[in-house]
C-alpha cells in the first residue's frame, strides 16, 4: 500500500482521503488554513450560524455511497432534510414561482400555475430532453476519467445520443427552442451559473442540472451544510487519515514521477502518490518545476484555453423577526439578466461588478442556525473574479458593493435593513485568501464554450502518480461532482 499526500482539506481532498484510507493506504492531508472544508465554510455570530459556501445539496447519493464505503451510513452522522419547496423565484415583473422539492410533474404544475400559457407542457418537454441527456452523459462524462475527444467518440456510434446532447448548442439556445415564455428562459439561465458559466456560451447539456434537482431532490443538512464537512472530517480521522493544518504546500517534487511535496517551512515530505485538491490553476502555475511543466504542456495549454469560472459576493445578515414570504431558498431575478453575464465575463468591456444582480437569499428554516423569531441570511450574488490587473479589484470595491447589495435587497424586501442586527460581507478577494482559489473562482474553469468539458483539467495527470481532485478538475464543481471526482481518483489509485 502507498503513502499518499493530499494537498487541501476541501470536500474533494477529504472524500479522496477517506476512500484511500479505507483501502488501506497511509494518507496525510496538508491544509493551508486552520480548518477543513475549503469553500464549505461557515461563520457564527452569537446564536446565528451561516454557511458561507454551499447552501444546497443535490444528488446526496454520492455522499451516501462515500459514507457507506468508508464505514457507516451517512444518517449516523448527519440529518439530510428534504425541502417541500426547493426554491421561491421572483421575476422582475413580480411573478412568484414556488418550485416544489422533488418531482418533474409537480414542478411543471407549479410552473403552469405561476406562468400560465403552455409553460407546464413546455417544461415537461424540456425535462424529457434533459432526462435523455442525463442518460447519455452520466457514465462516459461524469463517472469516468476524462478521456478527451475519446469520450465523445465513444458516443458517436449512437447517433441518437449525439443529437440529444447537441454538443455545439448552447443552453440559452436550447431553452429558447423549448419555451415561449421568456421567464422560463431566465429560470434555466440560472442553472448555468451553478457551473460558474454564461448560459449564452455554456453547452445545452447543462439542462441536466435542473433535471437532477427535480428528479433526485434539493436538500438541506440540519445545522447547515458545513455539518456534511464535519461528518466527513470525523470519518477521515476515525479511519486513520492524518491532518496537518496551517501548512501551505509550495512545491510538488518530481523526478520523472512524483516524489513528494515541499512545505512553506522548507520541509520535504516524501510520498508515493500526491493528490492535489487545490485549484488546478495553482498546480500548473506555481507548484510544478519546469521539467514537470514541460511534461504537462498539453494540460497547461488546455487550461489556458478555458474561461475561468465566475466568483461570488456574499452578504451574511442576522435579522430580528421573520418574513413569512421567504422560503428556505429564494431567488430574485433582475430585469436584464444578460447584463449580469456581460458584466461578469466582460463581454463587451472589462469585467465589472454587476450593477443590478440576481439576489439569492438562503434563509434556513432551521433553529440550529436561526434562533426562534429571527433569521440568518446567506445572500449570494454572482460576481467577476478578483483580478487586480485586468478585471475588478475587489479589495477596493468591497465596501461600496456591499451597500449596493443591501440596497438591492431593501428594494425587493422593504424593511429588511431595519430588521438587520448584524451583517458582514465576503468578496471574491476574501474567498481567494481563504481557499487559495485564483481570483476566488468558485468552480475553477467555467463551462463556457462547446469544448469546455474537454478543457477541464484531468484527474490523472501526465506526471506519474500525481492526481487532481475537486471542483476545478474533471468532472466539475459543486458538492456532488466533487464527490464523483474523488471516487474517480480513488478508483484509479486503487487499481495502480
Ligand X SMILES: Cc1cc2nc3c(=O)[nH]c(=O)nc-3n(C[C@H](O)[C@H](O)[C@H](O)COP(=O)(O)OP(=O)(O)OC[C@H]3O[C@@H](n4cnc5c(N)ncnc54)[C@H](O)[C@@H]3O)c2cc1C
For residue 104, whether the previous peptide bond is cis, meaning omega lies within 30 degrees of 0, is no
Pairing of strands 466-468, 273-276: parallel
| C-alpha to C-alpha distance for 380 and 305, rounded to whole angstroms | 28
| C-alpha to C-alpha distance for 447 and 450, rounded to whole angstroms | 8
| C-alpha to C-alpha distance for 271 and 125, rounded to whole angstroms | 52
| C-alpha to C-alpha distance for 236 and 231, rounded to whole angstroms | 9
Task: Find the shortest distance in angstroms from Cβ 333 to ligand X.
Answer: 18
Determine phi and psi for 363, rounding to 5 degrees. -120, 85
Pick one of 166, 201, 208, 282: the residue that binds ligand X (CB under 6 A): 282
Instruction: Kindly identify the residues of this chain, within the stretch 467-496, that bind ligand X according to CB under 6 A.
Output: 470-471, 477-479, 482
Is residue 236 involved in binding ligand X (CB under 6 A)? Answer: no
Is residue 192 involved in binding ligand X (CB under 6 A)? Answer: no
Instruction: Name the segment binding ligand X (CB under 6 A); options: 47-55, 125-133, 141-149, 294-302.
Output: 47-55
Neighbours of 404 (CB within 10 A): 17
Instruction: Kindly identify the residues of this chain, within the stretch 133-152, that bind ligand X according to CB under 6 A.
Output: none
Instruction: Name the segment binding ligand X (CB under 6 A); options: 20-28, 108-116, 173-181, 276-284.
Output: 276-284
In the bound state with ligand X, the residue whose beta carbon lies nearer, of 12 and 334, is 12
Give me the residue label for grid cell 437532477. 212
In the bound state with ligand X, the residue whose beta carbon lies nearer, of 409 and 442, is 442
| C-alpha to C-alpha distance for 213 and 221, rounded to whole angstroms | 16
Is residue 384 involved in binding ligand X (CB under 6 A)? Answer: no
Instruction: Name the segment binding ligand X (CB under 6 A); options: 35-43, 199-207, 410-418, 488-496.
Output: 35-43
Is residue 10 involved in binding ligand X (CB under 6 A)? Answer: yes
Is residue 230 involved in binding ligand X (CB under 6 A)? Answer: no
In the bound state with ligand X, the residue whose beta carbon lies nearer, of 119 and 253, is 253
Pick one of 19, 32, 302, 385: the residue that binds ligand X (CB under 6 A): 32
Angle between helix axes 171-178 and 119-137 (nearest 10 degrees) is 140
Cell numbers given for 183: 421567464
Pick one of 21, 249, 273, 468: the residue that binds ligand X (CB under 6 A): 249
Q: What is the largest CA-CA distance in the chain?
A: 66
In the bound state with ligand X, the residue whose beta carbon lies nearer, of 11 and 171, is 11
In the bound state with ligand X, the residue whose beta carbon lies nearer, of 164 and 428, is 428
Cα of 53 vs its chain's centroid, Å: 9
Is residue 12 involved in binding ligand X (CB under 6 A)? Answer: yes
Task: Find the shortest distance in angstroms from Cβ 6 to ligand X.
Answer: 9
Pick one of 19, 25, 39, 235: the residue that binds ligand X (CB under 6 A): 39
Pairing of strands 242-244, 26-30: parallel
| C-alpha to C-alpha distance for 152 and 147, rounded to whole angstroms | 9
Pairing of strands 257-263, 249-255: antiparallel
Task: Find the shortest distance in angstroms from Cβ 22 to ligand X.
Answer: 18
Q: For residues 448, 426, 392 and 250, what is the CA-based torsion angle, rounded to 10 degrees?
A: -80
In the bound state with ligand X, the residue whose beta carbon lies nearer, of 120 and 273, is 273
In the bound state with ligand X, the residue whose beta carbon lies nearer, of 10 and 199, is 10
Is residue 248 involved in binding ligand X (CB under 6 A)? Answer: yes
Is residue 101 involved in binding ligand X (CB under 6 A)? Answer: no
Is residue 306 involved in binding ligand X (CB under 6 A)? Answer: no
Q: How many residues bind ligand X (CB under 6 A)?
A: 37
Pick one of 78, 212, 278, 379: the residue that binds ligand X (CB under 6 A): 278
Task: Find the shortest distance in angstroms from Cβ 481 to ligand X.
Answer: 7
Pick one of 5, 8, 120, 455: the residue that binds ligand X (CB under 6 A): 8
List, in order, residues 6 or more apart from 284 with CB less than 8 Å away. 293, 296, 299, 300, 303, 457
Is residue 292 involved in binding ligand X (CB under 6 A)? Answer: no
In the bound state with ligand X, the residue whose beta carbon lies nearer, of 11 and 136, is 11
Is residue 38 involved in binding ligand X (CB under 6 A)? Answer: yes
Question: What's the Cα-to-Cα distance from 197 to each of 25, 89, 326, 444, 490, rounded to whole Å?
Answer: 37, 20, 27, 11, 28
| C-alpha to C-alpha distance for 231 and 423, rounded to whole angstroms | 28
Which residues share a beta bridge with 460? Answer: 467
Q: Which of 5, 1, 103 lies closest to 467, judged by CA? A: 5
Cell numbers given for 131: 432526462
Residues near ligand X (CB under 6 A): 7-13, 30-33, 38-40, 53-56, 248-249, 277-278, 282, 312, 314, 380, 431, 435-437, 442, 470-471, 477-479, 482
Amino acid at each position: 500500500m502507498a503513502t499518499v499526500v493530499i494537498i487541501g482539506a476541501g470536500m474533494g481532498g477529504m472524500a479522496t482521503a477517506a476512500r484511500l484510507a479505507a483501502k488501506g493506504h497511509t494518507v496525510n492531508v496538508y491544509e493551508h488554513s486552520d480548518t477543513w472544508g475549503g469553500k464549505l465554510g461557515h461563520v457564527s455570530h452569537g446564536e446565528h450560524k451561516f454557511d458561507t459556501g454551499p447552501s444546497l445539496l443535490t444528488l446526496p447519493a454520492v455522499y451516501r455511497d462515500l459514507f457507506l464505503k468508508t464505514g457507516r451510513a451517512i444518517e449516523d452522522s448527519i440529518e439530510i432534510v428534504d425541502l417541500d419547496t426547493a426554491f421561491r423565484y421572483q421575476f422582475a415583473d413580480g411573478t412568484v414561482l414556488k418550485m416544489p422539492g422533488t418531482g418533474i410533474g409537480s414542478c411543471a404544475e407549479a410552473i403552469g400555475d405561476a406562468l400560465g400559457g403552455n409553460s407546464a407542457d413546455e417544461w415537461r418537454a424540456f425535462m424529457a430532453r434533459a432526462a435523455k441527456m442525463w442518460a447519455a452523459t452520466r457514465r462516459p462524462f461524469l463517472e469516468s476519467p476524462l478521456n478527451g475527444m475519446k469520450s465523445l467518440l465513444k458516443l458517436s456510434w449512437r447517433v441518437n445520443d449525439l443529437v440529444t446532447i447537441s454538443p455545439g448548442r448552447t443552453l440559452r439556445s436550447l431553452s429558447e427552442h423549448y419555451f415561449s415564455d421568456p421567464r422560463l428562459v431566465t429560470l434555466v439561465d440560472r442553472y448555468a451559473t451553478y457551473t460558474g458559466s454564461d448560459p449564452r456560451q455554456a453547452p445545452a447539456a447543462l439542462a441536466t442540472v435542473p433535471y437532477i434537482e427535480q428528479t433526485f431532490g434539493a436538500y438541506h443538512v440540519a445545522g447547515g451544510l458545513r455539518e456534511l464537512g464535519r461528518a466527513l472530517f470525523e470519518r477521515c480521522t476515525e479511519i486513520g487519515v492524518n491532518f496537518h493544518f496551517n501548512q501551505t504546500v509550495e512545491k510538488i517534487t518530481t523526478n520523472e514521477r512524483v516524489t513528494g511535496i515541499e512545505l512553506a517551512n522548507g520541509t520535504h515530505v516524501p510520498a508515493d502518490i500526491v493528490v492535489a485538491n487545490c485549484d488546478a490553476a495553482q498546480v500548473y502555475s506555481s507548484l510544478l518545476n519546469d521539467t514537470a511543466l514541460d511534461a504537462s504542456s498539453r494540460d497547461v495549454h488546455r487550461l489556458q484555453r478555458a474561461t475561468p469560472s465566475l466568483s461570488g459576493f456574499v452578504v451574511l445578515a442576522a435579522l430580528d423577526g421573520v418574513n413569512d414570504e421567504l422560503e428556505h431558498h429564494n431567488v430574485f431575478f433582475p430585469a436584464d439578466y444578460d447584463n449580469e453575464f456581460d458584466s461578469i465575463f466582460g463581454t463587451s468591456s472589462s469585467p465589472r461588478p454587476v450593477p443590478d444582480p440576481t439576489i439569492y437569499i438562503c434563509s434556513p428554516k432551521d433553529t440550529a442556525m436561526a434562533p426562534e423569531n429571527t433569521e440568518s441570511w446567506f445572500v449570494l450574488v454572482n460576481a467577476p473574479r478578483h483580478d487586480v490587473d485586468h478585471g475588478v479589484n475587489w479589495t477596493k470595491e468591497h465596501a461600496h458593493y456591499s451597500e449596493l447589495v443591501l440596497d438591492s435587497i431593501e428594494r425587493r424586501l422593504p424593511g429588511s435593513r431595519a430588521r438587520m442586527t448584524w451583517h458582514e460581507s465576503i468578496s471574491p478577494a476574501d474567498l481567494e485568501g481563504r481557499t487559495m482559489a485564483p481570483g476566488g473562482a468558485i468552480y475553477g474553469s467555467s463551462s463556457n464554450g462547446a469544448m469546455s468539458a474537454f478543457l477541464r483539467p484531468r484527474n490523472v495527470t501526465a506526471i506519474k502518480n500525481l492526481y487532481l481532485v475537486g471542483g476545478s478538475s474533471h468532472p466539475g464543481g459543486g458538492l456532488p461532482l466533487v464527490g464523483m471526482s474523488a471516487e474517480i481518483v480513488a478508483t484509479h489509485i486503487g487499481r495502480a
